Structure 1
Amino acid sequence: MMKLLPTLIAVALASSSPVVDAFQSSFVGGGSLLSSSVPRSHSALCMKTIAVFGASGLTGSECVYQALKDGDTVIGLTRNPSNLKIPKGSGGADADKPLTDPKLTMIAGDVTKKSDVDKVFEKDIDGVIVALGGKTSDVGETMLTDGTKNVIAAMKEKGVKRLAVVTSIGAGDSENQAPFFFKVLMWTAMKKIFLDKNNQEAAVAASGLEYCIVRPGGLTVDPPTGVINVIEGEAGSIPRADVAQFCLDAVRVEDFPYIGKAPCISSVGGTSWTKDRSKAARGEM
């Protein structure tokens, strides 16, 4: 339990369990692609333009890197674009090198400023990933909520519907899925962070968009496992690379089964998402 705490704290600052559901992702790392066991719609096979907010963060950079590997166009917003590096998890030997690509546009800006957010939507966007994070002492006590509301407003103005937002295990109604010692931190040192996360989730749930609130367990920078479990019980850990793949699937796969839901995800244990996905989509799990 104590070994897991640092990764759980990382979840909150970034953004053995009974398993409801699991799936095999298409990206396994090192640039190699495997056949996915997830039935993808035809539209998901087309190249997309993905907006990533918090693009230079540990999870955001995984989203950017993997989307580019898949052939998508990416527009990212971050305070300091020069901080964007190839991520450790899926970057292999290239990890920590500057991340550049002809299909990548990075915008320097503050997500709490609507005018900066609007710059991202000057081009047509197919899907949006919000992977914001940071200490409240650095980014403020309401950055997650204020920034996400700006993103939602811009999406509505431009008619963009698909949204994935990374929050944390313990947020919203998942408090009981956090390990006890992490709950103590949620109630004390991290109280303001979780108030912001809870308000952020509420804004997303009320948005009317095709959203997926993604609540990862303890975050690591390990290579992707390719398997992501949607859990009901206490959280384990999960590589940021797997979280990124889940978010990308959420905004690219037309019939993604967790739209309008807030799944908690982990890399430990699991059954087949292909087997159970229709029930999950109907909320019958």
Structure 2
Amino acid sequence: MRVVIAGGHGQIALRLTRLLAQRGDVPVGIVRNPDHVDDVREAGGDAVVLDLERATVDEVAAVLAGAHAAVFAAGAGPGSGAARKDTVDRAASVLFADAAEVAEVRRFLQVSAMGLDRADDPSMDEVFAVYLRAKDAADRAVIERSGLDWTILRPGRLTDDPGTGTVTLDDHVPPGAVTRDDVAAVLVALLDRPGTAGRVFELVGGDTPIDVALGA
């Protein structure tokens, strides 16, 4: 299976690349910085240098051509301002989804975030509120598409602790943390389950094996 990952140098994306490569799939990471190509390759994937803040739909669709699935795991990241929260977390997601439709890649996973309804909390940091609104707008844009078999994954607070292989996953779950390892493992499991298309899942750490959680 050829899987194209937007935000290919991100921490979740690199973990996902390793898992896919280890089982014989062909992960392709889209990166903005040429210096990141080697990291993607060391994780077992191919890398394509393309700036999703500047690329056209046709340029992205050319990378997606022939893929079995697309995963949007890009984000402006900590320390970025409000402008890049919009151009990466929202606009790049919309671009990637547009390109997937053009390339006729139906299976589409999007890594979002929990708590998107907190954006209007008056105590919320202004830039973080922009981030939440950008993620919400990106999710809505994906949900409205009939040309994609989409699944949206909304993890809780991310940690670098070792993965456990057990989670709490459902339409709505209590706030909590989840390891990046386990997020990547859930993404692999979602790719293997086309029946999860059209679902929005929240994800935190828990006691249920991933396969069992998705089977439920």
RMSD after superposition: 2.7
1:191 aligns with 2:95: no
Distance in 1 between the 2:186 and 2:214 partners? Answer: 16
Shift of 1:187: 6.1
Who is 2:161 aligned against? 222
Who is 1:260 aligned against? 198
Shift of 1:233: 3.6
Distance in 1 between the 2:29 and 2:5 partners? Answer: 5
1:117 aligns with 2:60: yes
Shift of 1:223: 1.6
**Number of corresponding residues:** 208
Who is 1:83 aligned against? 36
Structure 1 residues 225 and 261, CA, compared in 2 at 3 Å: closer, same or farther? same
Who is 2:5 aligned against? 52
Structure 1 residues 194 and 275, CA, compared in 2 at 3 Å: closer, same or farther? closer
* Structure 1: runs of 5 or more not aligned: 1-47, 86-97, 281-285
Which of the numbers 191, 195, 201 marks the counterpart of 1:251? 191
Structure 1 residues 69 and 190, CA, compared in 2 at 3 Å: closer, same or farther? same
Who is 2:94 aligned against? 149
Distance in 1 between the 2:47 and 2:210 partners? Answer: 37
Distance in 1 between the 2:213 and 2:42 partners? Answer: 37
Q: TM-score, normalised by structure 2?
A: 0.83
Distance in 1 between the 2:48 and 2:167 partners? Answer: 31
Distance in 1 between the 2:96 and 2:169 partners? Answer: 26
Q: TM-score, normalised by structure 1?
A: 0.65
Who is 2:48 aligned against? 107
Structure 1 residues 138 and 79, CA, compared in 2 at 3 Å: closer, same or farther? farther
* Structure 2: runs of 5 or more not aligned: none
Identity of aligned residues (%): 20
Shift of 1:216: 0.3
Shift of 1:226: 0.8
